[in-house]
Amino acid sequence: MDAILTLVADRAATSLTPLDIETVSALSGGREEVVLSPGEAVDIACHAVSPAQFGAIHDALRDRPVDILLTSRHNRRKRVLVADMDSTMVANETLDDIAAGAERLRPGIGEAVAAVTRQSMNGEIDFQTSLRNRVALLKDLPSSLLDTAATHLSLNEGARTLVATMRASGAVTALVSGGFTFFTARVAALCGFSENHANRLIHAGDTLTGTVEEPVLGPDAKLDHLKRIVAAAGLTLNDALTIGDGANDLPMLRAAGLGIAFHAKPVVRREISDRIDHTSLRSALFAQGYSVTDFRE
C-alpha cells in the first residue's frame, strides 16, 4: 500500500466515527488504520486512489465536517514549509484591514479595496495589477494605519503548532506573502518562521505614497522563493509543503510535493485536491503523519 488517506474532523463540531472510517476504507480499499489524534484524525493506508475514487470519498462524507487529504506513504514529512500569510497563517486580509481603518478619513475606501482583493484572490484580475491598484487608494493616508491594523492580527488555529512542529523536525520554514513586510515580520516572529518575504510599502515621512516597491512579490515570485529555499537546503520540490488560499498561491501549490489549499477561494478549490475546508492548520501536520503527541507549541 503506497498511499495514505488522512481523515481529520472539525473537533469543535464533531468526532470521527467508526462509520466515517469504514466508509472511506471501503471506497479506497484501505485496510491499515493509525489513530493520529483520538476522535480527530486517522490515517488509512491504501493503494493508489484514482480521481474518481477520491471524488466518491468526498461525496460520501459531504455532510460531515471532515477533511480528507491524500498523500504518498513515502517522503510524507516534508523538510521545507512555505506558507502564505493573509487568510492562511492569519485570519486577516491585512491590506483590507488598513483600508477599513481609513474609513473615517476616506469613506468608502474599505469596500473599494476589499472588492479588488476578492477579484484578485479569485483569479479575476492579475495579482500585480490588483496590488498596485489597491495600494494607490492609500495615497496620502497616514502610515500609522499599519500600526492600527497590526493590533488586529489574529493567528489562525494551529499556526504556531505547524511551524514549531516542523522546525523541531528540522524543516526550513518560510512565510512568503503578497502582503507587506510590516506584517510578515510580526507574524514570522509570532510563529517562529525561519525567514519571511513580502512587498514593501513606500512612505514619505509619516505618509503613504500609494506605491509599492518594485518588483511586486506575486505568484511567480512565491514560486521562485520556494525553488530557492529548496535548492539552498539541497532538497527537491517533492520535499516541500506549501499552503495558501488564493489564486496567487497556485504556482507554489502546484509545484510542491504537498500543496494544501487552506479554506481556499473557489478557483483554488477547483484545482487543488488536498484541501483543508473544515479544520485548522493542525491538519497540515496530520497529513504528514504527525500524531498529536508529536506536536510542539
Task: Show which residues are catalytic.
Answer: 84, 86
Q: Which stretches within 61-158 are classed as H helix?
A: 94-101, 109-121, 127-136, 144-150
| Grid cell of 132 as nine digits | 498596485
**CA–CA gap between residue 73 and residue 45 (Å, rounded):** 8
CA distance 177 to 198: 5
DSSP class of residue 279 equals S
| Cell output for 168 | 523541531
Q: Residue 204's CB: how many other CB atoms inside 10 A?
A: 11
Reported as half-sphere exposure (CB side, CA atoms, 13 A), residue 141 has a value of 26
Q: How far apart are CA 31 and CA 90, in angstroms?
A: 37
Distance CA 169, CA 214 (A): 36
Amino acid identity for residue 273 in this structure? S
Contact 64, 20 (CB under 8 A): yes
